[in-house]
Amino acid sequence: MTTLVSPRQHLLMPWTVQEREENVLEFDYGEGVYFYDRQGNRYLDFLSQLFNCNLGHGNRRVIAAIQRQAAKASCISPQIFTEERVALSKQLAQLAPGDLSKSIFVNSGSEADDLAFILARMVTGRAKIFAKYRSYHGTTLGGLGVGGDPRRAAIEPGPPGTVRFFDPYCYRCDFAKTFPECSIHCLDALERQLQLENPATVAAIVVEPVTGAAGGFPLPPGYLTRLRQLCDKYGILLIADEVITGFGRTGKMFAVEHEGVVPDMLTLAKGLTSGYVPMGAIVVREHIARYFETKMLPLGSTCAAHPLACAAALACLEEYTPELLANVRRMSELLFAQLSGLAAKHRCVGDVRGQGLLACLELVRDPTTKAPLVPPNTDSPIPLQIRRLAWDDGIHLLVRGSLLILSPPLIVQPEHIAEAVEKLDRILAWVDQILSSQAD
């Protein structure tokens, strides 16, 4: 008799209560916008795994570049340059807006943000980092502690000097105002908060141009421009966390380009290598790079700028063509039109928002009162049930609290959007049904 052994027997799973994960999904292989589990079931990857597989699965050119690099050189001290590392830094300098022209490579988005916070403190000699309440900046002590996402509970009170401010979360405005009549009142509030904190103690303000898993909403038009002005007024550095939004996700190479804003630091990961090899980067402006010409940069890590990651990133950059970005914009229009249709049909959809191929449905118990499906900071089985339902129906997406987040690979086509919408229709009908049965 054989005994079934759980694949998680010797594993601790991220972001979950372990015993809830008995029914794990075991990835076998992927092709384009689909992937397959070990039982041969097919899934439409409407999350690009975790916002990272921008180019879809099995991209032959990226795979070949990694293979070539592995055969050539794959184990190198971070203090020794490679042709690929130099070429990648040059390409990022050309792609990034303004004088964002020097890169530091790391192994993840968390490290990129953590390091950006440290650099900001060093360069300004100031201690405080301002971050939005609904934000996620990674899982390290610095990243998790600065981000406002409830996951920060793991390490509260977090790094000293962290200050949080209210978001431009227009669906549930913290100031009970409405955009655009509000003239982005939340930035006036932020300025007052800066003054009360003493702006001369603030090193940086960090924002995601489109909040990912912590809120799923874009910054409203004009927000980044005014935030840049605010930072300039008080000598505060602006960090744009483009770990999710970088590399075409919003229809431009970087989301800050929608407003023509140049942050002082751009943090990147995920799409940089499309998830084929782990890599993150901090791209800094000249004034920050200059500071370290004569001062020690005491930061680095053994596998940073790993040759396989550099090769993967270079190959990915070749794939992020103007045609691919145009596809993102086209598919985005189609996706949001279809999602609005679903919102009109299902009572549980309170809001549809996003930018490019990053979309969020906010689920509510009642669209009139906007009572959330799962109140913030509460533990509920519903998100896991929705994820299970989605997997059973052959679609991979993110469910966090009341948010259902979609971010398909940028190569997605109309037939994939139609397939996703059909599956979402069934999922939302299930949510409608459990809500009406609870109301009975």
Ligand X SMILES: Cc1ncc(COP(=O)(O)O)c(C=O)c1O
| Beta carbon nearer to ligand X, 50 or 173 | 50
Run of H or E including 404:
strand 403-406
CB-based closest residue to ligand X: 109
| Beta carbon nearer to ligand X, 185 or 270 | 270
| Beta carbon nearer to ligand X, 137 or 365 | 137
| Beta carbon nearer to ligand X, 208 or 319 | 208
Contact 301, 106 (CB under 8 A): yes
| Beta carbon nearer to ligand X, 55 or 428 | 55
CB of 279 to ligand X, least distance (A): 9
146 SS3 class = helix
CB of 112 to ligand X, least distance (A): 7
d(CA 148, CA 134): 5
Torsions phi, psi for 337 (to 5 deg):
-60, -45
d(CA 196, CA 382): 40
Contact 120, 203 (CB under 8 A): yes
Contact 235, 264 (CB under 8 A): no
Contact 256, 87 (CB under 8 A): no
| Beta carbon nearer to ligand X, 338 or 355 | 355
| Beta carbon nearer to ligand X, 249 or 423 | 249
CB of 267 to ligand X, least distance (A): 7
Sign for the CA dihedral angle at 244, 148, 348, 209 comes to negative
CB of 408 to ligand X, least distance (A): 16
Write out the residues near ligand X by the rule CB under 6 A. 108-110, 113, 136-139, 208, 212-213, 241, 243-244, 269
CB of 143 to ligand X, least distance (A): 6
Closest C-alpha among 273, 290, 132 to residue 216:
132
H helix count then E strand count, the chain = 12, 16
Run of H or E including 227:
helix 223-234
| Beta carbon nearer to ligand X, 251 or 271 | 271
CB of 5 to ligand X, least distance (A): 29
Quote the radius of gyration of the chain (alpha carbons, Å).
22
Structure tokens at 302: 């053994």
CB of 51 to ligand X, least distance (A): 6
Other beta carbons less than 10 A from residue 437's beta carbon: 8
CB of 269 to ligand X, least distance (A): 4
| Beta carbon nearer to ligand X, 145 or 199 | 145
**b/e per residue 329-356 (b: at least 16 CB within 10 A):** eebbeebbebbeebbeebbbbbbbbbbb
| Beta carbon nearer to ligand X, 27 or 81 | 27
Contact 17, 23 (CB under 8 A): no
CB of 2 to ligand X, least distance (A): 36
CB of 214 to ligand X, least distance (A): 8
Decide: residue 219, CB within 10 A, 0-12 exposed, 13-18 middle, 19+ buried. buried
